[in-house]
Amino acid sequence: QVIRCRAAVAWAAGKPLSVEEVEVAPPKAGEVRVKIVASGICRTDDHLLEGCFPNGEFPVIPGHEGAGIVESIGEGVTYVKTGDKVILLCLPQCGECSFCLNPESNYCVKSHLASPQNLMPDKTSRFTCKGKQINHFLWLSTFAEYTVIPECAVAKIDAAAPLDKVCLLGCGFSTGYGAAINTAKVKPGSTCAVFGLGGVGLSAVMGCKVAGASRIIAVDINKGKFAKAKELGATDCISPQDFKKPIQDVIMEMTGHGVDYSFEVIGNPDTMIAALASCNVNTGVCIMVGELDAGTTIAIDPMLLLSGRTWKGTLLGGMKLR
Ligand code: NAD
Ligand code: ZN
């Protein structure tokens, strides 16, 4: 039956979230209803709230970094049962499409970049509030005490897993760590620069460290992030605001020819170019992790790439999430 519980609802772009009583319908065929125990907050939720997430629709329940316990299952669900602990997946894994079957790919054709996930796959919502239909976000909507998601967007986990920690595997940690390990494939002894030290950027620092990087330059305008970055493996921490010259010139001077791998984990066109220009002019690899506002384009001097650099993006750090 319908569950009444609390959820943080965004009624319109640019407006603060408001905690409301909502109704959560039972799961339909192929869906699961999950009691959310913990949810992280990622900058992507903020992009949605600002109205800058591609195809985001209001009113909506945001949140996409959750872990919880299966409350009930819809018809035909075999992967999980009531009581199982699960992590919700930002990138579904249907296991059947050509991308899911490709071991090199972590992108499922059912993901939000292929078609918006404002509603469940049958194009209806499981949430109502004050008589209005509320949109889902990425099929997850973890800022609710209960949510309904497709079976392909959960991963069953160990019953002993601490949900308040493992929820970060659903997006932020997997993205940053995987960007270093899977997408860049950082080599031992190499040099790295990470732009942006939020949850995702700090996870990229951890990935570089585990991959054996000898130097990890962490870049942020908020120096309050430096202590944590050093604890996790950064060898140098710099703020662009402390220099008159562009930060890419500073990094060139620090390293001689630029770093081997750079990561943009902010979501800003200027820092995307700075990160690209900070890596070695010939063999450097720059990974774009940050998300730009929907519709933003970047003008680049093609010489930045002509000399051999590689510029790549990553979705969820190349992880097959399940
Ligand atoms: P966050 O807001 O917690 O961290 C961003 C950091 O960048 C902050 O520490 C901030 O001080 C710093 N910063 C802002 N402007 C700067 C500038 N001009 N120069 C240097 N530092 C600057 O964000 P987060 O949750 O870590 O997410 C980071 C980005 O990654 C976001 O754009 C988010 O949408 C994106 N993201 C992408 C994926 C993916 O699959 N590619 C997944 C999750 C998040
Ligand atoms: Zn798939």
CA of 268 to the centre of ligand 1 (A): 9
Both structure tokens of 124:
């209806």
Looking at ligand 1, which residue's alpha carbon is closest to its atom 10?
196
- From first to last of the 322 residues of the chain, give the pLDDT tens digit: 999 999 999 999 999 999 999 999 999 999 999 999 999 999 999 999 999 998 999 999 999 999 999 999 999 999 999 999 999 999 999 999 999 999 999 999 988 878 889 999 999 999 999 999 999 999 999 999 999 999 999 999 999 999 999 999 999 999 999 999 999 999 999 999 999 999 999 999 999 999 999 999 999 999 999 999 999 999 999 999 999 999 999 999 999 999 999 999 999 999 999 999 999 999 999 999 999 998 999 999 999 999 999 999 999 999 999 9
Q: φ, ψ for residue 75 (rounded to 5)?
A: -55, 135
Spatial CA neighbour of 319 closest among 149, 79, 90, 54: 90
Instruction: State whether the beta carbon of 77 lies less than 6 angstroms from ligand 1.
Output: no
Q: What is the DSSP letter of 152?
A: G
Specify the pLDDT at position 112: 82
Q: Which atom of ligand 1 is nearest to the CA of 200?
A: 26
Q: How many CB atoms lie within 10 A of CB 222?
A: 11
Instruction: State whether the beta carbon of 278 lies less than 6 angstroms from ligand 1.
Output: no
Q: Which atom of ligand 1 is nearest to the CA of 196?
A: 7
CA of 29 to the centre of ligand 1 (A): 37
* Domain regions of the chain by residue span: 3-170, 176-316
Under CATH, which architecture does the 176-316 domain have? 3-Layer(aba) Sandwich (3.40)
Looking at ligand 1, which residue's alpha carbon is closest to its atom 11?
222
Looking at ligand 1, which residue's alpha carbon is closest to its atom 36?
290
Specify the pLDDT at position 115: 83
- 321 burial (CB, 10 Å; 0-12 / 13-18 / 19+) is buried
Both structure tokens of 272:
């995307």
Specify the pLDDT at position 117: 93
Query: Is the pTM for the entire model greater than 0.75?
Result: yes
Q: Which fold has domain 3-170?
A: Quinone Oxidoreductase; Chain A, domain 1 (3.90.180)
Strand ranges, E, within the chain: 3-9, 18-24, 31-39, 66-73, 85-88, 127-129, 132-134, 146-150, 154-156, 191-195, 215-219, 236-238, 261-264, 285-288, 310-313
Specify the pLDDT at position 299: 93
Both structure tokens of 81:
């049962």
**What residues contact 131, with CB distance under 8 A and at least 6 apart?**
none
Ligand at minimal distance from the CA of 110 is: 2
Specify the pLDDT at position 114: 80
- 229 burial (CB, 10 Å; 0-12 / 13-18 / 19+) is buried
